[in-house]
Amino acid sequence: MSLYTRDKSPFYWGYLNIDGQIHKKSLKTTDKKEAEKHLFQWKNELYTGEVTTGTNKLVETEKSGADNNKVDNTRRKALMITSGLMGAVTVTGFAVPFLSAWNPSEKAKALGASVKFDLSKLDPGAMAVVEWRRTPIFVVHQTKKALDNLPKLNNRVTDPALSEGIARSSNEKFTVLKGVCTHLSCAPKYHPEIEPKAWDEEWLGGFFCPCHGSKFDLAGRVYKGVPAPINLEVPPHSFDGDTLIIGEQV
Ligand code: FES
């Protein structure tokens, strides 16, 4: 759950990932606090079914049809229980270096074509979120310290994925991942800080999923003993100088 802005819109937009379905809409306000309030209200409406996606024309979803209006009761309960934590993480997330890039061309989105991203915009340690085929793609500019720390985690992760390279990328400065938790598809939060965390006293930076506590390192490798079974997926991508091309593998 997060807020973002679009180039041609003066308003904040809301983003929700519910059971793998991506929901986005304009929150019709330029005030961040008010936007956060609308975002929480909208999330609760979706969970309780008081306002369904079928009646809200601004909502875009990955799936269509009757499935949009179904929310599994067990899942709903779990998400309601964790909603307070999700909100807290989202608010602190605004302080993390974050570059939103939800602006591929309409044509590219419609065709599911590849999407280009200018890596020169991204400072070391920062992460951008790029939309590709209605899926958030995390693009992380690794720091030297982060790269030095990754091998230290080889024995704490389920699958070290050594054959994929240190950053799981052909350009080790940049890691490209699908921003979808491999447990039940929540959106993991980016926490690059190297400091003790509530979920890990020896945290060396990575992603934390607030739904059920899965942890991933900065290369998207899943820690042992958490609900997520596998590493964050790497989408097909390639590099052409400072340009990242998502959707094309060379
Ligand atoms: S969805 Fe369950 S830990 Fe991420």
- Give, for ligand 1, the residue of 18, 79, 184 to mutate: max count of ligand atoms closer than 8 Å to Cβ: 184
- 33-to-1, 46, 84 alpha-carbon distances in Å: 15, 20, 16
| Residue in 64, 62, 59, 66 with CA at minimum distance from that of residue 43 | 59
Give the domain-ending residue among 25, 59, 93: 93
Total domain count for the chain?
2
Q: How far is ligand 1, taken at its centre, from the CA of residue 79, in Å?
A: 10
232 lines ligand 1 (CB under 6 A): no
Q: How far is ligand 1, taken at its centre, from the CA of residue 213, in Å?
A: 6
Together in a domain, 152 and 237: yes
Residue type, 212: H
Together in a domain, 71 and 164: no
Low-confidence residues in the chain, pLDDT < 70: 1-10, 16-22, 39-40, 43-111
ipTM of predicted assembly, 2 dp: 0.98
pLDDT of residue 28: 76
Ligand 1, atom 3, lies closest to the CA of 212
186 lines ligand 1 (CB under 6 A): yes
Q: Report the nearest atom of ligand 1 relative to the CA of 212.
A: 3
Domain that residue 147 falls in: 98-246
- 118-to-189, 220, 235, 250 alpha-carbon distances in Å: 22, 21, 17, 18
One-letter-per-residue 3-state SS of 45-73? HHHHCCCCHHHCCCCECCCCCHHHHCCCH
Together in a domain, 109 and 55: no
75 lines ligand 1 (CB under 6 A): no
Return d(Cα 132, Cα 109) in angstroms, integer: 7
Q: How far is ligand 1, taken at its centre, from the CA of residue 25, in Å?
A: 24
pLDDT of residue 44: 58
Together in a domain, 196 and 216: yes
228 lines ligand 1 (CB under 6 A): yes
Ligand 1, atom 1, lies closest to the CA of 184
Give the domain-ending residue among 39, 72, 93: 93
Residue type, 110: A
pLDDT digits (tens, 9 = 90+) for 24-61: 777 777 777 777 777 667 765 665 444 333 322 333 33
Together in a domain, 185 and 207: yes
Q: How far is ligand 1, taken at its centre, from the CA of residue 123, in Å?
A: 28
Give the domain-ending residue among 76, 93, 110: 93
pLDDT of residue 36: 73
Q: Report the nearest atom of ligand 1 relative to the CA of 213.
A: 3
pLDDT of residue 85: 29
Together in a domain, 82 and 34: yes
126 lines ligand 1 (CB under 6 A): no
pLDDT of residue 61: 30
